[in-house]
A and B are shown apart, each in its own frame.
Chain A
Amino acid sequence: MGIIKTENLTYTYSVGTPFEKKAIDNINLEIEEGELVGIIGHTGSGKSTLIQHFNGLLKPTSGRILIEGEDIWKSKASTRQARFTVGLVFQYPEYQIFEETVYRDIAFGPKNMGLTEDEIDYRVRNTATAVGISEELLQRSPFELSGGQKRRVAIAGVMAMEPKILILDEPTAGLDPKGREKILNLIKEHHKKTGCTVLIVSHSMEDIARYANKILVMNKSKVFCYGKTAEVFKRANEISEMGLTVPQITRVINELKNRGINIEDEIYTVKYAKEIFLKYLSEKEGGAYD
């Protein structure tokens, strides 16, 4: 039984107006507990609409959404429960920071959950450390922080609620390579430590290739495929045709294969590509590059 399950999930925007549009169309999906899933898809493919269903921000036009086996629209209580089970970090979350201090901003979610002061304090300090926000910053105004720090504070605010499912919509948008790496590493670390289920929406195939175990590809309001990273990148040609880009390294490997070089095609990181080439050369030249 997956932790997230959708049954014939359909959502139509602006029903009854000339702008009526099916944003997601008959989605049947099951995501297993503890996975780290990368979600990719063109702008307008329905990926944001889909994730907004997972914590009940949008109500399906038809179909059902089950979190831990329970229909989140069964009762008011189950909808509320879904919002605590599923933590959603929006795009550019730093724009949603509003509290006077970093501490209070991170504490906002846990407070709403009705936790004790001690528990809140513990969680705020714990998550702040996890996202690399030092003790002395906690009493500062969040608006004195750098862009990267602000984003980490916003993510910490959701992590502090300790959701079983953490969803992040383009958490690295607009950051430089160092900032991207930092955010992705802390998400990966959080995933490893807590064993929670993580879904990351991203436009960067390179990042997804390096961090996710599984990939969900959305196309034209439907699920194009959902599977292990290696299996999904095997379909590089089809993914490229959708206007998405596969990692540069994968394109190079595919071209070499087209030209008759016999190497495996499940390569999507530089590190792995290097190993494969060295092995290939060793076999060809009798152990020269071991």
Chain B
Amino acid sequence: MGNIIKTDDIHFYYENEYSVEEGVESPVKEILKGINLDINKGEFVAVLGHNGSGKSTFAKHLNAILLPKKGTVYIGDIDTKLEDRHFDIRQRVGMVFQNPDNQIVATVVEEDVAFALENLGVEPKEMRNRVDDALKAVDMYEYREHAPHQLSGGQKQRVAIAGVIAMRPECIVLDEPTAMLDPKGRQEVLKTIRMLNKNFGITIVAITHYMDEAAEADRVVVMDEGEVILDDIPKEVFSHVELLKSVGLDVPQVTELIYELNKYGLNIDKQIITEDECVEALMKILA
């Protein structure tokens, strides 16, 4: 085990949002205010935060779409400020965005998956193998000759993920990959992400505001106002019901129920995050 991503006190603000006083630039509004995070190889990390908490800005630092104004991001041992290494960085850390319609470029599914490989100059035979493998991995192989517009949102997102895994990255960063999908599409994409993590050992950083998605991760990082306020296993993070609510986030309904019941002097394990755990705990006191 080692780090795949390490961020060392990163700060960020947008160019047009600073004031200059006596020749010194000072940001009007810092989006990131010193983030220190190590992400281990093979980990599945969910990053939670309300809109404007800085979570997407953070995600964009992980494959050098944005560079920190202060501090350093390391991908493996590469500093993202080294522009001539951006190719390597982006091959190691792939990115999937929220809107499936904004990230598909080709008119045939398999050509879309091959797009990055063409840019990388991969041999045609090798390309064929990688495209097939990637499409099989996301369970979209039988759609390889379809046009993207014939696919559902969940299917399009899986094609986008296939495009990333065809590059054989060590890590995939997904910025709210399910926000625009219906429940079925969400399930498909989540299943795919979990499978890539488990079976292929790909490190996953998933930005989300769905609590039930975060509950399935190995580790949950909660951001608020550009800072990390919680960083722990899901059970531990979700036991902070009041804190999460105060920063505009929810907890799973079952966690909230137990929290509410405990207020009345019941003594139920407060680290309950799944339906099964909730049913078991309630059976103990009700039966």
**CB–CB A248/B253 < 8 A:** yes
Instruction: Assess A243 versus B254: contact at CB under 8 Å? Given A175-B51, A256-B286, A278-B261.
Output: no
Does B180 interact with chain A (Cβ within 8 Å)? Answer: yes
Cα–Cα distance between A270 and B248 once the two chains are bound (Å) = 18
7 contacts between A and B (CB under 8 A): A174-B179, A206-B253, A248-B212, A252-B275, A274-B260, A280-B286, A281-B266
| Contact mask for chain B residues 245-257; partner A; CB cutoff 8 A; 1 contact, 0 none | 0001110111011
> Measuring CB to CB, which residues of chain A are less than 8 angstroms from any residue of chain B?
42-43, 146-148, 173-179, 203, 206, 243-245, 247-249, 251-252, 255-256, 259-261, 270-271, 273-274, 277-278, 280-281, 284, 289
**CB–CB B183/A249 < 8 A:** no
Contacts of A249 in B (CB 8 A): 253-254, 257
Instruction: Assess A277 versus B51: contact at CB under 8 Å? Given A43-B184, A244-B183, A248-B252.
Output: no
Instruction: Assess A277 versus B282: contact at CB under 8 Å? Given A176-B51, A177-B50, A177-B248.
Output: yes
Does B1 interact with chain A (Cβ within 8 Å)? Answer: no
Contacts of A261 in B (CB 8 A): 282-283, 286-287
**CB–CB A270/B275 < 8 A:** no
Contacts of B243 in A (CB 8 A): none
Other than the given A270-B260, A271-B260, 11 more pairs (CB < 8 A) read A43-B152, A43-B184, A174-B180, A175-B51, A178-B249, A248-B252, A252-B282, A270-B256, A274-B261, A277-B282, A280-B286
How far apart are A149's CB and chain B's nearest CB, in angstroms? 11
**CB–CB A148/B182 < 8 A:** no
**CB–CB A176/B282 < 8 A:** no
Closest partner residue, chain A, to B179 (CB atom): A174
Taking each of A173, A248, A271, A274, which has the highest tally of chain B beta carbons within 10 Å of its own beta carbon?
Answer: A248
Q: Chain B, interface size: which category?
A: 35 or more
**CB–CB A176/B257 < 8 A:** no
How far apart are B160's CB and chain A's nearest CB, in angstroms? 16
Cα–Cα distance between A261 and B285 once the two chains are bound (Å) = 11
Cα–Cα distance between A281 and B266 once the two chains are bound (Å) = 10
Closest partner residue, chain A, to B52 (CB atom): A146
Instruction: Assess A174 versus B98: contact at CB under 8 Å? Given A43-B182, A252-B254.
Output: yes
Instruction: Assess A256 versus B283: contact at CB under 8 Å? Given A147-B51, A176-B51, A243-B184.
Output: yes
| Contact mask for chain B residues 175-205; partner A; CB cutoff 8 A; 1 contact, 0 none | 0100110111100000000000000000000
Closest partner residue, chain B, to A260 (CB atom): B287
**CB–CB A255/B279 < 8 A:** yes
How far apart are B241's CB and chain A's nearest CB, in angstroms? 11
**CB–CB B184/A42 < 8 A:** yes
**What 6 A-B pairs are tightest by C-beta distance, nearest first?**
A178-B248, A248-B253, A176-B50, A176-B209, A43-B182, A177-B250
| Contact mask for chain B residues 267-287; partner A; CB cutoff 8 A; 1 contact, 0 none | 000000001001100110111
Cα–Cα distance between A173 and B153 once the two chains are bound (Å) = 13
Contacts of B285 in A (CB 8 A): 281
How far apart are B267's CB and chain A's nearest CB, in angstroms? 12
How far apart are B191's CB and chain A's nearest CB, in angstroms? 14
**CB–CB B286/A281 < 8 A:** yes
Closest partner residue, chain A, to B249 (CB atom): A177
Cα–Cα distance between A259 and B281 once the two chains are bound (Å) = 13
**CB–CB A273/B279 < 8 A:** no
Does B265 interact with chain A (Cβ within 8 Å)? Answer: yes
Cα–Cα distance between A259 and B250 once the two chains are bound (Å) = 29
**CB–CB A248/B51 < 8 A:** no
Closest partner residue, chain A, to B99 (CB atom): A174
Cα–Cα distance between A271 and B260 once the two chains are bound (Å) = 8
Contacts of A256 in B (CB 8 A): 279, 282-283, 286
Contacts of B260 in A (CB 8 A): 270-271, 274
**CB–CB A248/B254 < 8 A:** yes
Cα–Cα distance between A256 and B261 once the two chains are bound (Å) = 16
**CB–CB B179/A274 < 8 A:** no
